[in-house]
Amino acid sequence: MKYRSLIPYVLVGVFLVLATLRGADHPASAALVATKKATTVPVTPTLALPSSTPGGLQGVTTGVETPAANITPTPLPMDASQIHILYQTADPSARTCDVNISDLVGQNVACIAQTVVGDTLTAAQTAYGISATDKTVTTLTLMDAQLSADATKAVVIPRITFSHGKTVVATVYRIYLIDVASASAKLIRDRTDKEAKPPVGGTASLAPDGKSLAYTDQSTVFVDALDGNPARQLTADTAAYGALLWSPDGKQILVTAGTKVFLFDSTASKDKGQALALAATGDTYELLSWSSDGTQVLIADHHAAAVALYVYTLATNKVAKFAPGKTAPDFAIFIPNSARILFGTISPKDGTLTLYTANADGSVLLPTVSSVATYGVAPDGSRIVYTYLKSVYTSDINGGNGQPIVDGATLLAVQPGGGQ
């Protein structure tokens, strides 16, 4: 959400790289009322369908009826103080911490990663002989982050690109595993070294139980049991492996490889995997989300500037396009503990997202929030969490006005639920 954040983890995953391209919105949680004064943000948008202009979001439909019996009730909310998010200060010049954690009422704030970005930048500048004062070099810093389901671990991946004018000099990354309680960082992979052709890699995903970490490095996928032993090589062949997605039960891992998507047994070694039965279009695929029951996967098909979303049913290899109400979704995730999907469309004007919910077959389309930059879903599926105007808000999953969590911040990740 497009560099896609730690893969759906928040994607949320995390979406930082996507933040410059996309957006999302806001409703509220009663648990926040006692600790935060309600701040009204733009109301739930009227359902807008694409006009005949490509990428346009013009024309408003009226009289859209949604039978109440077909709407999934908002799940009984978890205690907001037991749900955690990762965020960073929106203003880089005021940033004293790379990654902060808090609960969903904005309390119990702690810095869990203070120097990972600076350390990565310094190492890369040293490797490439680039002075920090060299104004001819443009430095772009992006970061992915993911929180484990029990909120005891986090994965943080700073990614830095150096450019001279329009020429990219180098793109480097590091993969860090963070122990939340001690705020200690373990370096899993370091690719700040100078190479003529940097290998493909730099994505990672924690297993649902938080006990293993899958990651890509040097065009290979590895699984680290986080027990002090060397990581196991999952893939037999090298390829342009990208997004990683664990099944909700942790038994399988989906991996993109350019124009293909492979399914692996998570305990395998040097395996070739099973290619999903996707059309050989030559397009690039991206994994977005796995349903909580493990039966379906959301996949994005990228062709030039166009994006098409599909729901892939694993048992039957059936592929169905996901485009509710003639919308053109750019991102989507399954809502935990629900059969519904939260998806976003990008505004061609400012790159922000308008969020909707719908059933997997596209029925019962509901607008929720708009003008969002990054977003995620609470692990119980009851709330949306998102960045709006450089602050983090939360709303009910079915729409409504937002409640602020953290001012002057950008959402990096939300504690995941099943399939996220």
For residue 339, the enclosing domain spans 10-414
- 1 part of a folded domain: no
347 falls within a domain: yes
Per-residue pLDDT of the chain (420 residues; tens, 9 = 90+): 333 333 333 333 333 333 333 333 322 222 222 222 333 343 344 333 332 222 222 222 222 233 333 444 444 568 889 999 999 999 999 999 999 999 999 999 999 999 999 999 999 999 999 999 999 999 999 999 999 999 999 999 999 999 999 999 899 999 999 999 999 999 999 999 887 566 678 999 999 999 999 999 989 999 999 999 999 999 999 999 999 999 999 999 999 998 899 999 999 999 999 999 988 777 889 988 999 999 999 999 988 778 899 999 999 999 999 999 888 899 999 999 898 999 999 988 888 899 999 999 999 999 999 999 999 999 999 999 999 999 999 999 988 889 999 999 999 999 997 555
Number of residues assigned to the chain: 420
Instruction: Give φ, ψ of 356 to 5 degrees.
Output: -135, 165
Residue 111, in any domain of the structure: yes
Q: CA of 71: how far to CAs of 157, 356, 394, 399, 400, in Å?
A: 38, 13, 20, 12, 15
User: How far is residue 418 CA from its own chain's centroid?
Assistant: 14
Q: How far apart are CA 207 and CA 330, in angstroms?
A: 25
**Which ranges constitute the DSSP H helices of 273-383?**
none
pTM: 0.82
- Which residues are CB-neighbours of 417 under 8 A, at least 6 positions away? 149, 292, 336, 337, 377, 378, 379, 380, 381
User: Residue 256 and residue 44: Cα distance in Å, rounded?
Assistant: 34
Q: DSSP class of residue 36?
A: S
The token duo for 365 is 């389309």
CATH number at residue 192: 2.120.10.30
**Does residue 3 lie within any of the structural domains?**
no
SS (H, E, C) 142-183: EEEEEECCCCCEEEEEEEEEEEECCEEEEEEEEEEEEECCCC
Residue 420 lies in a domain: no
Q: Does some domain include residue 5?
A: no
Q: Is residue 188 part of a domain?
A: yes
What secondary structure does DSSP assign to 216-240, as a single string?
A: EETTEEEEE-SSSSPPEE-BSS---
Tally of structural domains, the chain: 1
CA distance 51 to 178: 46
Instruction: Examine residue 419 and state whether it is found in any structural domain, yes or no.
Output: no
Eight-class DSSP state of 308: E
Cα→Cα distances 230→178, 202, 222, 225, 233, Å: 18, 18, 10, 8, 9
List residues bridging with 392 in a β-sheet: 387, 406
